[in-house]
Structure 1
Amino acid sequence: MPRIKGGKAIMDSVLSYGVDTIFGIPGGQTYELFDALYQRGDDIQLITTRSEQGAAYMAFGYARSTGKVGVYTTVPGPGVLNSGAALTTAYACNAPVLSLTGQVPSHGIGRGVGYLHDVPDQLGVLQRMTQWAARIEHPAHAPGMVAEAFRKLTTGRRRPVSLEMALDVMSEEAEVDMLEPTVFDEPVRPEPEALRRAAELLKTAERPMLYIGGGAVEAGEEILRLAEHLQAPVVSQRGGRGVVSDRHYLAHSYPAGHRMWPEIDVVVAIGSRLKYPRMHWGTDAKLKIIHIDIDPTELRRISTPTVGITGDAREATAGLLQALEEAGSTPRPSRREEFEALQAEMRQAFDADIQPQMGILHAIRGQLPDDGILVDEITQVGYASWYGYPVYQPRTLITSGYAGNLGYGLATAIGVKVANPDRRVISINGDGGFMFHVGELATAVKYQLNLVIIVFSDGAYTNVARAQTKRFGGRVIGTDLTNPDFAAMAEAYGATGYRVSTADELAEKIRLGFEQDGPVVIEMPIEKSDFPWKYLLLPQVRSDAQPAS
């Protein structure tokens, strides 16, 4: 067996799993990792970022837009903690992100000596932000530990993991058996009896619905076949958008799902917690719930379904359709006319009620091909995009899920563009969130990444100001912002900067922006916007409780 250093044992093991990009910043406890990268030459693309949080968000964007493992590296202590917001976002969105971090000298871990970047129980912190975190104690252990990390990243529920190694172990030479990469094939197959019981419910259902989440992103073909057989609407809020193209008459927005909810008798939740319908729209004894999830702990987290099915979304959905056919179910008459009318009605309502956001989203959609990717933000246009932006393919609307991290968007969009160099990528930002990672604009310039970054400027944390106004009678505090000239700032970074005032001008500058060689920032001032949460904060519409007399 060859004698190699611990840092090289980690890096060579990671790269053996087909990793082609790593995001990060070299630091004292990770020098050996970066030297190992240097030795691999063109085998790996290193994206040097301007912050550890930016590196982690870029790895998140890489993973979310491709389904592949996104990898980043940080120094311990402050580096790990800086990346924590992105790790929790990856956890919320079931994104396969691998964090590689250093540690203080092995003999000092947990002693509180005060070594550079030391924090109490770093491994414990990481274990609480990931599905699995471990310390590699010896170079010879690296290949096996990396293999275990990739097993967890690529099978079952795909959430982030972390590996750490002390700086002296990274420098230590030892005999290391460099294992061949393992192809993990551990499908979670559904129980036939659960599929049979679900099929019996659906066979007699009069108004079925499919409600899908991010766990269904690889099961689009199977979901559409099941939906067409049942003539059931397919509803999603964020994570499942595009799994069934919004051009299809069975694809429906979250508000449209709420409109139909009182009449639904059987709902099939696929790769989704079904959180908002259960907790906000309401349930009753007439509603039967079939819940499909790869993680059995999700099936009873909120409430117990009528039928719970543990399994991969693709296999379970295909199995459910097969069980239906075996039970004698035949394809139902088309509801195209009914559903197309509902789609048109909802689009008209959004356009009438939510401006200028909908006009802006139309301008964006018009400049992106079907496979173009929109990265949202915690901003007024972002909220409206969850229901008002047409999505035609999976993984083309990137959000932060329930993490709801303000400021995540720009760095995430850079990771998306790195992962998808030949696809058009647009990042939308409020002026508040944009400034969280504005330094990463320098990263986009350095690597000449042609993505279009739109900044909607109104000089405030608008959502907070609106909530304070409503809840506290106009007592608004801490929401005013002082902004630079964003277009001029972009030029100072070496990017292209534009300023527009209308949706038509925005569409034209987006078109011009995609003709440039590097990143483009478009500032669009917005003085007033309609309340986008009108179609998200939806009331309860069914319940077993009897009204008070």
Structure 2
Amino acid sequence: MYTASTAFLEALQEANVSYIFANLGSDHPAMIESLAEAKQLNKKLPEVIVCPNEMVALSAAHGYAQITGEVQAVIIHVECGTQNLGGAIHNAAKGRVPVLIFAGASPFTQEGELAGSRNEFIHWIQDVFDQRGIMRGYTKYNNEIRTGKNVKQLVHRAMQFATSDPKGPVYLMGAREVMEEEIEPITVDTNLWEPIMPSAIPPNAIKELAADLLKAQNPLIITSYLGRNEQAVNELIELCEHVSIPVIESCPNYMNFPTTHPLHCGHQWNTPSQNELIAEADFILVLDSDVPWIPLKNKPSNDAIIYYIDVDPIKEQMPLWYIPSKRFFKADSYTALQQLNMHLKMDCNIDSKTVEERLDKYSQYHTKQKDKLKELECSNSEHITPEYLTACVREIIDHNTIIMNEGISNYPTISNHLELHRSGTLFGSGAGSLGWNGGAAIGAKLAKPDKTVISLTGDGSYLFSIPSTVHWMANRYNTPFLTIIYNNHGWKSPKLSTLGVHPNGIAQQTNEFFVDFGTISDLSKIAEAAGGAYARSVKNPADLKDALTQCLNVVKEGRAAVLDVHIPTV
């Protein structure tokens, strides 16, 4: 039979979906039949990846899309599976990552009126008033498939939303009877469903921006996720070198600018004090950043001229957000930088002496900053510091390595000490729901099987990732990667948050923050038991480099590895 489910799966294939990350249920008999028939007939459809947990499924699709830019599909079970996506839908939404999610729905007939009518007790219990409402605050588009006759059009429309800036997740649902509907084969012209073309800056506005930039004595660029487009990184380097503009990465979740470049002037996260470059800047160009600074303690001067370029420059899904700026441009950063670079090449008003002096100034700043960071990397005979651990990780990575970073309280340390200088080598979730790292590493390895994937995670975010599911999947689908746990035996971030508000409070005086994990477990053994991963735990600094090398060799031989590194406690 050719059913709505058949047409749905064909639409995914037409949309260049490679994988369906699936946790199937009683709402999917027609889908399962269509997949089985396709396999029997050797019909090309996306490969199904069985995911025992929905959050891991969406995190894997998230990671794959980040690496390739290609939308993947997640199929889940009614409203239960929808809710079990958990924080992964927050991550995809806030990280602006395209993914299509489909959930079935309980049958809407109960006496055999249509194929797929209710025949299990659970169909009454899983029937809810507003299943789509669960996702409404996190998706760019949501809809219900009510007939198989236009299912392909709905899929391609959803994909168009997902892949148009600002990108993001989309959600479709369909009841069992609808997905069982037998229909005539559907053909659509997929060329008519392309994403919206990237936006540019108006020509006169480019002239104004360039003029303000060239008048500035202390210009500055701040970015967080420009590096999601590797071409944009090259354009940013060209701009910065042309007029000597320093770059700060604020809460980065990509490699946005080479950290070894003399104009790279550091990373900032929850900076507790004023950044001197931001304070002295008379011109700031913010490119692709949700939080360029935290105004409570770190902000520009009132006289600074600020320009904001982003695909979402007013953060439409953030109830409280404002960075007063001279101009806001809803534009693609790569396109905008191309425009600006082209304009500056024709501008004869560039003061070469000023450019040279700025390069010298910020090169010295860069060197001093790096020297201070190097001092923190010294080996300690008593315990492994996060700085030393990151420096050792830096020694084992090469041009073929992809880093998935969910270090949380160690985000600043990882950013500062990895010293990445190639685009497409660093990825973070872009959001705040922990547990992205494991599924995302699987997605990255599926996307780039020839790459070495390393996941850097805190012990809290490792546990949130559902490591039993992650490593069962890694073993079954041959996606070996190395997990390195920054194990401080608790949740450090809530402690830091408390101290940020109550630095001398009772919690600080009594050292009671309710974040200590207490008994130390060997977290690596979870992966060994669930997925046959190589498990190792290390506490002695003298053993660290050997452990890293051994784990990396295991991964390159085709087996996942988890290194549980004990660092100073919370």
Give the TM-score, by structure 2 length.
0.84
What do residues 331-375 of structure 1 show as CA deviations (whole Å, max 9, x unaligned)? 743444433332232233334458711111111122121341211
User: Offset at 1:277?
Assistant: 5.3
Q: Tell me which of 2, 19, 27 is aligned to 1:4.
A: 2
Partner of residue 36, structure 2: 38
Count of aligned residue pairs for this structure pair: 522
Moved more, 54-63 or 238-247: 238-247
2:336 aligned residue (304, 309, 316): 316
Distance 1:366 1:245 in 2: 17
Question: Contact conserved, 2:492 with 2:515, CA < 8 A, in 1?
Answer: no
Q: Could you tell me which of 150, 164, 187 is aligned with 1:178?
A: 187
- The DSSP-based 3-state class of the residue aligned with 2:17 is coil
Equivalent-residue separation in structure 1 for 2:313 and 2:491 (angstroms): 39
Q: How much does 1:37 deviate?
A: 3.2
Specify the alignment match of 1:544 in structure 2.
Answer: none
1:27 to 25, 28, 37: 25
- Equivalent residue number for residue 486 of structure 1: 523
Equivalent pair of 2:18/2:72 in contact (CA under 8 Å) = no
Q: Which deviates more, 67-76 or 341-350?
A: 341-350
Match of 2:533 among 495, 511, 514: 495
Contact 1:96/1:153 (8 A) holds in 2: yes
Q: Deviations over 1:161-197 (max 9, x none)?
A: 1111111100111234321323445231221122121
1:99-498 pair list within 5 angstroms: 99-106=101-108, 115-182=124-191, 183-184=194-195, 186-215=197-226, 217-218=228-229, 219-239=232-252, 241-255=254-268, 258-276=275-293, 280-295=297-312, 297-298=314-315, 301-330=321-350, 332=352, 333-334=355-356, 335-353=358-376, 356-401=385-430, 403-436=431-464, 437-439=466-468, 440-465=470-495, 471=505, 472=507, 473=509, 474-477=511-514, 479-493=516-530, 494-498=532-536
Q: CA deviation at 1:422?
A: 0.9
Cα deviation 1:230-265 (Å, max 9, x = unaligned): 210122134464232223222332249933112211
- Judged with a 3 Å threshold, the aligned counterparts in structure 2 of structure 1 residues 475 and 298 are, in CA distance, closer, same or farther, namely closer
Contact map agreement 2:106 2:123 (CA 8 A) in 1:
no
What runs of 5+ residues in structure 1 fail to find an aligned partner?
Answer: 530-549
For the residue of structure 2 that corresponds to 1:195, the secondary structure is helix
1:216–1:270 contact (8 Å) kept in structure 2: no
Per-residue deviation, 1:444: 0.9
- Counterpart of 1:292, as a letter, is I
Deviation of the 1:409 alpha carbon: 1.6
Structure-2 change in CA distance of 1:32 and 1:497 (3 Å):
same
Give the distance between the partners of 2:100 and 2:514, measured in 1 at CA. 39
**Residues 31 and 259 (structure 1), Cα distance of their counterparts in 2 relative to 1, 3 Å cut:** farther
1:498-509 to structure 2, matched below 5 A, reads 498-501=536-539, 502=541, 503-509=544-550
Alignment partners' CA distance in 1, 2:309 and 2:296: 18
1:435-483 C-alpha deviation (Å, 9 max, x unpaired) = 2312121111112222011223343223335655754222333532445
Is the contact between residue 240 and residue 394 of structure 1 (CA under 8 Å) also seen in structure 2? no
Structure 1 stretch 298-307 or stretch 88-97: which is displaced more? 298-307
- In the alignment, the residues of structure 1 paired with residue 252 and residue 173 of structure 2 have an alpha-carbon distance, to the nearest angstrom, of 30
Corresponding residue to 1:72 among 46, 71, 74? 74
Cα gap change, 1:505 to 1:466, in 2 (>3 Å): farther
**1 CA distance for matches of 2:218 and 2:64?**
38
- 1:431 and 1:322, CA in 2 relative to 1: closer, same or farther beyond 3 A? closer
Contact 1:143 1:179 in 2 (8 A): yes
Contact residue 373 and residue 397 of structure 1 kept, 8 A: yes
Per the alignment, in what secondary structure is the counterpart of residue 48 of structure 2? Answer: strand
Q: 1:169 to 1:43 in 2, by over 3 A?
A: closer
Secondary structure of the residue aligned to 2:545 is helix
Aligned to 2:65: 63
TM-score (norm 1): 0.87
For residues 296 and 408 of structure 1, do their structure 2 counterparts lie closer, same or farther at Cα, with a shift above 3 Å needed? Answer: closer
RMSD of aligned C-alpha atoms? 2.7
Contact (CA 8 Å) 2:253, 2:429: kept in 1 or not?
Answer: no
Which residue identity does 2:325 align to in structure 1? P
User: What CA distance in whole angstroms lies between the structure 2 residues aligned with 1:491 and 1:85?
Assistant: 25
How far, CA to CA, are the matches of 1:329 and 1:58 in structure 2? 49
Q: Judge which range, 474-483 or 136-145, deviates more.
A: 474-483
Q: Distance between the aligned counterparts of 1:478 and 1:319, measured in 2?
A: 49
Shift of 1:138: 0.8
What does 1:47-62 align with in structure 2 at a 5 Å threshold?
47-62=49-64
* Identical-residue share of aligned pairs (%): 21
* 1:471-511 deviation line (CA, Å, top 9, x unaligned): 42223335324454334444333111222232423432343
Q: 1:518 to 1:248 in 2, by over 3 A?
A: same
Seen in structure 2, the aligned counterparts of structure 1 residues 77 and 331 have a Cα distance that, compared at 3 Å, is farther
Residue deviations 1:365-420, cap 9 Å, x none? 2212134121122544344213332222334222222x322222222222222222
The answer as to whether partners of 2:144 and 2:173 remain within 8 angstroms in 1 is yes
Greater shift in the superposed pair: 13-22 or 243-252? 243-252
Superposed, which structure 2 residues align to 1:536-547 within 5 Å? none
Q: Measured at CA, do residues 242 and 215 of structure 1 come closer, stay the same or move farther in structure 2, by a change above 3 Å? A: closer
Range with bigger deviation, 449-458 or 200-209 = 449-458
What corresponds to 1:94 in structure 2?
A: 96
| Contact 2:250–2:289 (Cα < 8 Å) also in 1 | no
Cα gap change, 1:79 to 1:481, in 2 (>3 Å): farther
Looking at structure 2, the residues matched to 390 and 69 of structure 1 have their Cα atoms a distance apart, in angstroms, of 30
How big is the shift at 1:131?
1.4
